[in-house]
Chains A and B, each alone.
Chain A
């Protein structure tokens, strides 16, 4: 809520331009993202040589049976981290929901469909103006929900692969080869999606480090999240009037 001004504390000098920043992600969310980066990267890197075991480059990495074991151990520990992160994320969402404090900003709405259509018009030079996005634009919501389900599939299929004897006690045996196929295919799709979509949007299109700093500048807010910016401004006005 707060948008503290970073003013100059030095007196006697001409006032420097002050820039307000807006909180976008809290500390917990940033830690979650860090855990996600670490586990997802390690899982992808340790999973690829296992998926492509017949390939020469994989066999170069997995040069001894001990290395195969080591790589599997690394993969399993990274999976423990990812599962812990997913459990924390879901648990926190449920806890907030039970107190009616869970923000609905990430939920897809019809407005996102309109935004996507508007963005497409803009990209096809049919419109000069970009849609005016709120706190999370449809690209960001798509990233979140795509990875939400991808990680869900990866965790479930990974657990089936890790504990096949347990799962076939109550599920049909056919789920094991299906889980194997789903696990490795989903990982490739999710990894490719992150590299393509997420990296372009946060690194190439513009450098958006708010997931690490937690904040966006006023200019970034105005340009990329104008509806959210206006909401904050009007709330700030209302507060000022109330005082």
Chain B
């Protein structure tokens, strides 16, 4: 698609679409920005950013020519009508919003346009080598790794990279989540992270938005509830459908739900994980976690009963662990369970007379029965041994 002819065609197209340009879509992922900022803390990226902003914005290899000021580029690209017709039939707006650019993190750091567009060093620009907007994105996003190499490499282990390797071109790359010209801190506000993921994962995002976590996040920007990346990771997002992810998921929940300070803030018990880990399900899961994490195991983990993205409080009538719905939840795994079955669940609470009387009285019985039998038996035997020794000594005396 490259070549002088194609370039001429492109220039003609600029004029042709000028009128309709206002209606065309802005640059893809215009609003997107995701990834926890905390992710950057302590990474080489965090140290790199301020330093490069003070001295040379980027390694000189990236900008062999004297850097063009972004104002130079905006003299053309500040025109909302500027657009390009692609061979695919798509129209690519070439408009860069000066306002969005001015607010971007890169502009603030003085990073010039040609840092990310290294092939464009002057005018006229080289011929476009892409047939679709997606091809353009794929040809440009790799420049991110020049500075953000650690995070780029993390993405290579991610579920998204697997999808891309399987030929799914819509699998997200850097700019799909972070934006391009308008790149901003991805967690301001914090709910932006989940909203970014929700651009593609719409159903899951709707479930999450109505969950106890999502509601707290969306309403008041709660700093404690998990956003997508807290459970799924940021750049190296693993496949959550593997045996390994499943068996380790209770630990993930425990990250917050076993934190006494955090749980006290919301009037929740911080013992839930500890009590789970000694329960029937939990012991089983613990063994698989430490020995056979790669073997799929059905013993219930937190999400099997509480839900995954749609977690609600147990008091919520829509919650799977609401007393009215609990039996149905048990029957997911124990399909023939009768109505008494839920009574077998000792809950995430310590043994008590009120909640779990059978266990309580059994425990009380054995706490007295065991020593009441074994201690007198041991004492009796000790006396017998002493007496037998005494008798033997007496017999051996002359």
Interface set of A (CB-CB < 8 Å, partner B): 53-54, 59, 62-65, 120, 122-125, 146, 164-165, 168-178, 180-182, 185-186, 188-189, 192-193, 196-197, 200, 205
- The 8 Å CB contact of B384, one of A164, A178, A200, is A200
Supposing A123-B384, A197-B377 touch, asked if A174 and B344 sit within 8 A by C-beta, the answer is: yes
What are 14 inter-chain pairs, A to B, with CB distance below 8 A?
Answer: A53-B283, A54-B283, A62-B287, A64-B292, A123-B387, A164-B344, A168-B338, A169-B338, A173-B341, A175-B344, A175-B358, A177-B280, A178-B359, A189-B370
Taking A63-B291, A175-B344 as known contacts, 15 extra A-B pairs with beta carbons closer than 8 A to each other, sorted by chain A number, are A53-B283, A54-B287, A59-B291, A62-B287, A146-B373, A165-B341, A177-B356, A178-B359, A178-B361, A180-B280, A181-B363, A182-B362, A189-B373, A193-B373, A193-B374
CB nearest to B336 among chain A residues:
A165
Q: Which residues of B contact A205 (CB under 8 A)?
A: 384, 388
* B373 x A185 contact (CB < 8 A): no
| Bound Cα distance A169, B370 (Å) | 31
| Bound Cα distance A174, B361 (Å) | 11
* A174 x B287 contact (CB < 8 A): no
| Bound Cα distance A169, B384 (Å) | 50
* A193 x B377 contact (CB < 8 A): yes
- The 8 Å CB contact of B381, one of A125, A165, A177, A196, is A196
* B359 x A174 contact (CB < 8 A): yes
Specify which of A122, A124, A180 lies most central, judged by the most chain B CB atoms within 10 Å of its CB. A180
Supposing A124-B383, A177-B358, A189-B369 touch, asked if A196 and B377 sit within 8 A by C-beta, the answer is: yes
| Bound Cα distance A174, B357 (Å) | 7
CB nearest to A130 among chain B residues:
B387
* A200 x B383 contact (CB < 8 A): no
Q: Which residues of A contact B38 (CB under 8 A)?
A: none
Supposing A168-B341, A168-B344, A196-B381 touch, asked if A65 and B359 sit within 8 A by C-beta, the answer is: no
CB nearest to A170 among chain B residues:
B340
| Bound Cα distance A146, B370 (Å) | 12
CB nearest to A142 among chain B residues:
B377
Q: Which residues of B contact A185 (CB under 8 A)?
A: 366, 370
Question: In the complex, what's the smallest C-beta–C-beta distance from B361 to chain A, in angstroms?
Answer: 8
Q: Which residues of A contact B373 (CB under 8 A)?
A: 146, 189, 193
Q: Which residues of B contact A177 (CB under 8 A)?
A: 280, 344, 346, 356, 358-359
Cβ of B118 under 8 Å from chain A: no
CB nearest to B388 among chain A residues:
A205
Question: In the complex, what's the smallest C-beta–C-beta distance from A55 to chain B, in angstroms?
Answer: 11
* B343 x A173 contact (CB < 8 A): yes
Specify which of B280, B343, B345, B388 lies most central, judged by the most chain A CB atoms within 10 Å of its CB. B343
Cβ of B334 under 8 Å from chain A: yes
* A178 x B370 contact (CB < 8 A): no
Q: Which residues of B contact A59 (CB under 8 A)?
A: 287, 290-291
Question: In the complex, what's the smallest C-beta–C-beta distance from B251 to chain A, in angstroms?
Answer: 15
Cβ of B337 under 8 Å from chain A: yes
Q: Which residues of B contact A164 (CB under 8 A)?
A: 344
| 8 Å CB interface, B307-350 against A | 334, 336-338, 340-346
- The 8 Å CB contact of A165, one of B337, B361, B374, B387, is B337
* A168 x B336 contact (CB < 8 A): no
Supposing A59-B287, A59-B291, A168-B337 touch, asked if A196 and B344 sit within 8 A by C-beta, the answer is: no
Specify which of A122, A176, A192 lies most central, judged by the most chain B CB atoms within 10 Å of its CB. A176
| Bound Cα distance A120, B384 (Å) | 9
| Bound Cα distance A120, B380 (Å) | 8
* A181 x B359 contact (CB < 8 A): yes
Question: In the complex, what's the smallest C-beta–C-beta distance from B283 to chain A, in angstroms?
Answer: 6
Specify which of B283, B346, B369 lies most central, judged by the most chain A CB atoms within 10 Å of its CB. B346
Question: In the complex, what's the smallest C-beta–C-beta distance from B248 to chain A, in angstroms?
Answer: 17
Cβ of B378 under 8 Å from chain A: yes
* B381 x A181 contact (CB < 8 A): no
| Bound Cα distance A193, B287 (Å) | 30
Question: In the complex, what's the smallest C-beta–C-beta distance from B346 to chain A, in angstroms?
Answer: 5
- The 8 Å CB contact of B366, one of A63, A174, A181, A192, is A181
Supposing A174-B359, A182-B362, A205-B388 touch, asked if A196 and B287 sit within 8 A by C-beta, the answer is: no
| Bound Cα distance A125, B345 (Å) | 54
Question: In the complex, what's the smallest C-beta–C-beta distance from A71 to chain B, in angstroms?
Answer: 13
- The 8 Å CB contact of A53, one of B287, B297, B366, B377, is B287
Q: Which residues of B contact A174 (CB under 8 A)?
A: 343-344, 356-359
* B336 x A196 contact (CB < 8 A): no
